[in-house]
A and B are shown apart, each in its own frame.
Chain A
Amino acid sequence: MTNKNKISPLDRPLSPHLQIYRPSFTMMMSIMHRISGVILYFGSFLLLAWYISILIGPEAYQLLNQLFSFSIIKVALFLFTWIFFHHLLVELDILFGIQEEDLN
């Protein structure tokens, strides 16, 4: 544990705990955005595996293709796509959506 009397620049204060806020739609979207980001972070390894299998050759590519043809993997790929578009649409809302100053 760090000594609380000596505050280094890296010891920033923590925000209040999540549970004290009443959940709202915007807040849930923000949380989902973050969770989907983490899932996509790990999902990117799937894309990387696919690129590398193409680099290695037809055998590796066929092996990965067979893996993708299992129905449980297909469900995972579907969810991966869903999460990708969720992340994308929330980002669209952040970039081009109605801002607070537009309402005034």
Chain B
Amino acid sequence: MNNKHSEGTHHFILQRITAVINLFLGVYVFNFFIKSIGKSYETVIDILGNNFMWLVITIFSLSMCYHMWIGFNHILDDYVDEVKARKVLGSLNSFVVVIVALATSFSMITIGFF
């Protein structure tokens, strides 16, 4: 993951905390996503804007992104033994996760407020 040797426990605990958050919010958001397929745009916007669903999705996405970031870095640590490749893939992972987190937060906050 990186040069620091002291982050394992920290990541272990945070992975569990985000897992518990995702446990509740994830089921809720997933239910909303799957049920919304086929519904009209107005219905979805209404649910998102009026029921604080946008806030739930933002919190879930941030928690999910952190969970994703730790999980994928863990996999890279385990299976990619070439240092340079691991660093490149790790940076790519960070980039993707930051993009997902920012894009979701931006779209949800925009929908929620405007």
The residues of A with any CB-CB pair to B shorter than 8 Å are: 2, 8-12, 14-15, 34, 37-38, 40-41, 44-45, 47-48, 50-52, 54-55, 57-58, 61-62, 65, 68-69, 77, 81, 84, 88, 91-92, 95
Contacts and interface: CB of A to CB of B under 8 A. Distances in A.
Of the candidates A41, A62, A65, A68, the one having the most CB atoms from chain B within 10 angstroms of its own CB is A41
Nearest to A51: B107
Contacts of A34: 75
Given A11-B83, A88-B27, A48 B38 contact: no
Contacts of B110: 55
A45 B83 contact: no
Nearest to B31: A81
Of the candidates B16, B41, B104, the one having the most CB atoms from chain A within 10 angstroms of its own CB is B41
Of the candidates B72, B107, B110, the one having the most CB atoms from chain A within 10 angstroms of its own CB is B107
Interface residues of B, number: 37
Contact of B33 (A37, A38, A47): A47
Given A37-B71, A81-B34, A51 B103 contact: yes
> Top 8 closest A-B pairs, CB basis?
A55-B107, A58-B41, A51-B107, A10-B83, A61-B41, A68-B37, A37-B71, A91-B19
A92 B81 contact: no
B64 interface: yes
A16 B23 CA distance: 33
Contacts of B75: 34, 37-38
A10 B37 contact: no
A80 B44 CA distance: 21
A9 B91 CA distance: 19
B20 to A, nearest CB: 7
